[in-house]
Structure 1
């Protein structure tokens, strides 16, 4: 299993490059001193001489050292490093916020404010681990966004530059030439996709580390879909997105070696953020080999992993939305939870136009939910009080579930709210915060699966038994759920 300092292990990196091992894509980048290009470990080109290899922990660090992105393996488009999903320390939280566009919107001071550290502390830690500061990392992300727009749309380059977050056409041109060793015109000419596709839609390929079993991932999202906000149509999961500069609609379809992503955005400046949130939703930056290797050491889980390796944890594109839905789903069926959420959406969600499907609304914002009269909600009084407490805590910033949130603090503050027990807190930790070790031993499906497999079924005993599954207990939950014949475990039929 790769670790956070894998780029410093020269022997291991050389072996990965010589074997073209795709498992290491995103963990480190190989720069070649003789050609001045950098590649992903799985680059199909002939491996360079060992003495010409240099290894970097990030694309931004390789670019900052003067290397250009390989035109063949496109290292800038490799799966993201799983370390930002697995960890909850300062660097990981910073990287999740940068991916969500915070530096582009609020600058490095805004990033520091959100994390509660000084700008100097943030820069020092990112440089120490990634070889590049927050501005360089954000610049690398802008370059990738520009490339996507150049290759998948017919937009004039001035609009591409603006949408990708560049301050001027000159900076855009200089960055593209520096990073890709091609002009924007050359990139568009070389692209096989060019301006193909439906007007107003951007069609992208989202890479992932194999293996990936899509059944529970897309099945869960489709089975719990809130009418108007989400739907399954033509083999794809579709949903509306609330984004910083407007709204969007994403269509995500599992393919053998990638996820097809079709985006409709009201403001193209939200492209990078929309992609980042879709990847987060589908857990595409996970390291399934590492997860499955550990879980397979358990003789009970081993057959489940062997049968369908690469299960992912379905997450959310909006942490606050999922938290609200978790409360709505307390002690009721999946169908009842969808009904409660659909009523909220119809009454308080922002309407959207979807010419390509049946989506009608954005899920209500926290501000809109705060205006609701609790007495108007068709649910028990105690649950209305729980929902009210959550919405107030989110609105006042007492509970932070955003990408840069501290997982332990979020858990503690959720637990302090009335009506929040372990199931609700851990469900939010799993889906909103993305903690790979979140565990819900009191969940009915988990308890039934545990009993059928001969595992302890009481929460305390199962938690003790599951200690050997750490830090991947959220993935163990997916394998346990998959033993049941439930709609969440199957791709729906169109």
Structure 2
């Protein structure tokens, strides 16, 4: 979008928050870059230059606006609605892969050469993977500086900087303030619970922004209704769960608020902060563009009343793609309660134990490697489903099936379809909630068909698929609106 100058100028002049994260405005006279909704008086169009990423602005010598704080805007929805090389690379960078494995590790995950990855990112985003990762480190550092009382040395370590000097230089270059000046300025804006409330070591209180509107009932209702005991729970108004992370593990509590999602993270290793935030945002679909989604779906007169009643529905996703695939198999042709029971038994038998002084979480969901040695005879399910589960686990454990942020959606679908017991419903529900394909569709789902019939839409899979062509590329969101017509617990935000 940044190349459409006229459209970008209109968005800046109207201070349209819908475009925050889509592009950034750099002002030639002040050498500052802003989000489109910056509250200051817009500069003259001839003084505006538009960039597709904060990293590109920084590379061009611009520093972040102290008023609108462009680094705190939601991420671009582009990376969650595409599965090409650039989008997959951006999801991996957000997951902290460059900090852990460098650019060669990023290229290896994507199956391309380092040169190809760098060239494509530079062409589309105006910055290479190192610059994009550096911008993310700066954003994480600012978050910790402003919302915690952590010593600066610990913040530098947690944000992924190799040295205190690099941390100091980067923060000063990007924000035109030293780390201590950033903290002082944040304190002048008022108290923040992470800075003032006592917390256990490794516990951080954050705010996760999103594009409005957001209807939380089906989002949190789905996660809570399908929660695995010991791994997930609803406690004191928050959805809580354990997290398996690269350097350790964590527990997150996510609370829906009118203008943000409250996030309380407890980590055994602060280096996991960036990836934990990225996975929580992905699970809650917080980088979606609800205005674009709802505008498309309102084009169908039978869907329009559902959209108008509760706009901004999100697709509940996952923090662990392999975990969700296993749970999808456990949920084949059984009730939600039965699927939870099966998953809880697996977690109790094979999951690593965790301590949770604030609630009832006891386990990490077992990894594919931990499940690879399970005895199929111990599974209380039909033999055919045991074969489906053990085959899936084996493919995930040996790496021949990848369902992570780097996955090509069509290739992953083809590999899933090749597994025994993976029919269209299982493949598409994994595509929707694990892979994150916004156009995944479930025309054979009983709830979808029942809702379609009640609305006067075609209810047979073939006819419904034909009608749903007009909903593309947002059919996964249409499924959420259709499911919401039922009184199933997945659609109810717990009290």
Aligned: 1:49 with 2:44: yes
Aligned: 1:124 with 2:140: no
TM-score normalised per structure 2: 0.98
**Equivalent position SS for 1:191:** helix
- In 1, the alpha carbon distance for the partners of 2:354 and 2:32 equals 44
**Equivalent position SS for 1:31:** strand
Name 1:3's counterpart in structure 2: none
- In 2, the alpha carbon distance for the partners of 1:74 and 1:353 equals 36
Aligned: 1:158 with 2:160: no
- In 2, the alpha carbon distance for the partners of 1:23 and 1:154 equals 32
- 1:441, 1:447 within 8 Å by CA — same for their partners in 2? yes
Name 2:181's counterpart in structure 1: 186
**Equivalent position SS for 1:436:** coil
Aligned: 1:389 with 2:391: yes
Unaligned residue ranges in structure 2 (runs of 5+): none
- 1:60, 1:140 within 8 Å by CA — same for their partners in 2? yes
- 1:197, 1:203 within 8 Å by CA — same for their partners in 2? no
Name 2:65's counterpart in structure 1: 70
Aligned: 1:199 with 2:194: no
Matches within 5 A, 1:299-378: 299-378=301-380
**Which residue of 436, 445, 448 maps to 2:447?**
445
Deviation (angstroms), 1:55: 0.7
Name 1:171's counterpart in structure 2: 166
- In 2, the alpha carbon distance for the partners of 1:32 and 1:204 equals 30
TM-score normalised per structure 1: 0.98
- In 1, the alpha carbon distance for the partners of 2:347 and 2:197 equals 31
- In 1, the alpha carbon distance for the partners of 2:182 and 2:82 equals 35
Name 1:264's counterpart in structure 2: 266
Deviation (angstroms), 1:467: 0.8
**Which residue of 217, 230, 243 maps to 2:219?**
217
**Equivalent position SS for 2:50:** strand
**Equivalent position SS for 1:249:** strand
- In 1, the alpha carbon distance for the partners of 2:40 and 2:206 equals 24
Name 1:12's counterpart in structure 2: 7
- In 1, the alpha carbon distance for the partners of 2:399 and 2:323 equals 15
- 1:31, 1:53 within 8 Å by CA — same for their partners in 2? yes
- 1:447, 1:458 within 8 Å by CA — same for their partners in 2? yes
| Segment drifting more, 310-319 vs 354-363 | 354-363
Deviation (angstroms), 1:167: 0.8
**Equivalent position SS for 2:137:** helix
- In 2, the alpha carbon distance for the partners of 1:361 and 1:48 equals 53
Deviation (angstroms), 1:156: 1.4
Deviation (angstroms), 1:197: 2.8
**Which residue of 395, 407, 432 maps to 1:405?**
407
- In 2, the alpha carbon distance for the partners of 1:451 and 1:409 equals 32
Deviation (angstroms), 1:249: 0.7
Deviation (angstroms), 1:460: 1.4
Name 1:284's counterpart in structure 2: 286
Measured on the aligned residues, the alpha-carbon RMSD in Å equals 0.8
- In 2, the alpha carbon distance for the partners of 1:33 and 1:44 equals 18
Deviation (angstroms), 1:198: 3.6
Unaligned residue ranges in structure 1 (runs of 5+): 1-5
**Which residue of 103, 106, 109 maps to 1:111?**
106
Matches within 5 A, 1:395-474: 395-474=397-476
**Equivalent position SS for 1:162:** helix
- In 2, the alpha carbon distance for the partners of 1:426 and 1:136 equals 35
Deviation (angstroms), 1:320: 0.2
Aligned: 1:141 with 2:128: no
**Equivalent position SS for 2:180:** helix
- In 2, the alpha carbon distance for the partners of 1:353 and 1:152 equals 25
- 1:202, 1:264 within 8 Å by CA — same for their partners in 2? yes
Name 1:96's counterpart in structure 2: 91
Name 1:21's counterpart in structure 2: 16
- 1:328, 1:337 within 8 Å by CA — same for their partners in 2? yes
**Equivalent position SS for 1:250:** strand
Name 2:484's counterpart in structure 1: 482
**Which residue of 289, 293, 296 maps to 1:294?**
296
- In 2, the alpha carbon distance for the partners of 1:197 and 1:110 equals 39
- 1:436, 1:474 within 8 Å by CA — same for their partners in 2? yes
Once superposed, which parts of structure 1, at least 4 consecutive aligned residues long, lie more than 6 Å away?
none
- 1:152, 1:196 within 8 Å by CA — same for their partners in 2? no
**Equivalent position SS for 1:76:** helix
